[in-house]
Amino acid sequence: MRALRFALIAATALLAVPSLAVSAPKHEVHHNSDGLTVPMDEAKLITFTQPVVTLFVGNPTIADVTIIDSHHAYLLGKTFGATNMIGLDSNNRQVLNSQINVTNRMVGSVTLNRGAATYNYSCTRLHCETSPRPGDPNDYVANTESAAQTHQATAAKAALASNP
């Protein structure tokens, strides 16, 4: 019953805000004023306007970047969340500082308030998934992080098995 009630609330929230129903094409990195957005478990080609020699990712459990050449790299969304990427040129000067947003093919978000506790969800047109933010209950955050770690471990095992 709770799941049905939540689904109705989430669907109502998405229908009430039509601008949330418009999303970037499924297979492109979306560049906007908030940085780069890429779906989880997808690798996308990114292009730099200035030559970049070194890249740092703030939280490598959220995203990973592999340099191809000084103007191109692959961005991999590992688990949903936000981090940043800093690029340095050959003189170790910062030429890039961009936010990376890894989504779970999100169309919108819903915040469920239960008394003083808040529960945040990222939603597509079909369903919502947990997306905790600072201030959400500790159990909720821990369960979500555990699921993300399990997902990452499973992907790493699959990669090792396919590449003996």
CATH number of the CATH domain containing 67? 2.60.40.1080
Residue 55 is predicted with a pLDDT of: 94
Residue 120 and residue 144 share a domain: yes
pLDDT at 49: 92
* Together in a domain, 17 and 39: no
Q: Supply the pLDDT for residue 107.
A: 64
Whether residues 16 and 38 fall in one domain:
no
Task: Single out the residue in 86, 103, 120 at which a domain terminates.
Answer: 103
Between CA 57 and CA 75 the distance in angstroms is: 10
Asked if residue 72 and residue 14 are part of one domain, the reply reads no
Please report, for residues 3, 30, 130, 131, 136, the alpha-carbon distance to residue 119 in angstroms, rounded to integers and kept in the order given.
14, 26, 8, 8, 6
pTM for the full model? 0.51
Together in a domain, 113 and 89: no
Sheet of 54-57: strand order equals 30-32, 35-39, 94-103, 81-88, 54-57
Q: Chunked in runs of 10, what are the mean pLDDT values of the chain (164 residues)?
A: 47 40 36 72 91 94 93 90 93 94 74 87 78 83 83 82 73
What domain count does the chain have? Answer: 2
Query: Which residue range(s) make up the domain with 73?
Result: 30-103
pLDDT value at residue 106: 56
| Cα Dmax for the chain | 60
